[in-house]
Amino acid sequence: MNLLAHNASKLERNLSQLGDRITGLPILHASLWNAATCPLALLPWIAAALSVDEWDDTWPEAMKREAIATSLDFHRIQGTVLAIRKTLDFYGHTDAEIIERADCVRRDGSANRNGLRRRGGLSQWATVRIVLHQRMTLDLAEQLLRRIQHAKRLCVHVVGLNGNIGGLRRNGIAHRDGTHHRGLIA
């Protein structure tokens, strides 16, 4: 169907024909908005449309699709401790500990003297310390901290991302080239 005026230019007529040809292409819009069926090349655009906070082109395809699929549910819980937990799970740290009110020392004998608590100084009441039980590189730690910054409330301060428990072993596998950590990351 052509709605052009009788005095339309040649360019306008060609564009109208091109539009008719494009509308005849079989494109399934539902499959484009589904993270599982969308072509790999279009995933960054869907991620931007669904407001995926952290995106890395070097991620494997399955991780990209999972980030898109869980984006809306993540935004519903964003700002809670559950969001921090889901972030840690996404990066494979399912056994990480989240210590809320990290700088609050209890006087009932339940405080553990393992070096994870600081004495005095901070004026923030909402603090979180995260203890990782797996080794990770400094690059991954920085990426994890960025993602946690998106997941937490603005008033919550991450006072430590601690990897003491998953530190390097002297087995000749890890190299001392600055890519691995041996304790407190942040």
Same domain as 124, residue 91: yes
Task: Average the pLDDT over 46-72 and give the result.
Answer: 90
Same domain as 144, residue 71: no
Split into its structural domains, the chain has a count of 2
Same domain as 89, residue 177: yes
pLDDT for 75 beyond 70 = yes
Task: Average the pLDDT over 130-139 and give the result.
Answer: 78
Distances (CA, A) of 40 to 16, 51, 76, 109, 120: 31, 17, 26, 54, 50
Same domain as 180, residue 95: yes
Residue 165: band (very low, low, confident or very high) from pLDDT cuts 50, 70, 90: very low
Distances (CA, A) of 182 to 6, 95, 136: 77, 18, 10
Same domain as 87, residue 70: no
Same domain as 31, residue 91: no
- Give the domain extent around 96: 79-107+118-186
In a domain? residue 34: yes
Q: Which two tokens stand for residue 148?
A: 């946690």
Whole-model pTM: value is: 0.61
pLDDT at 167: 45
In a domain? residue 89: yes
Cβ atoms < 10 Å from Cβ of 156: 20
pLDDT at 130: 84
Name residue 48's amino acid: A
Q: What is the pLDDT of residues 140-150, one digit of tens each?
A: 788 888 888 88
In a domain? residue 178: yes
Same domain as 177, residue 86: yes
Between 113 and 78, residue with greater pLDDT = 78
In a domain? residue 11: no
Same domain as 186, residue 176: yes
Same domain as 151, residue 126: yes
In a domain? residue 53: yes
Q: What is the pLDDT of residues 82-93, one digit of tens each?
A: 999 998 888 888
Place of tokens 């730690």: 141
Same domain as 84, residue 40: no
CB 159 within 8 A of CB 129: yes
pLDDT at 95: 87
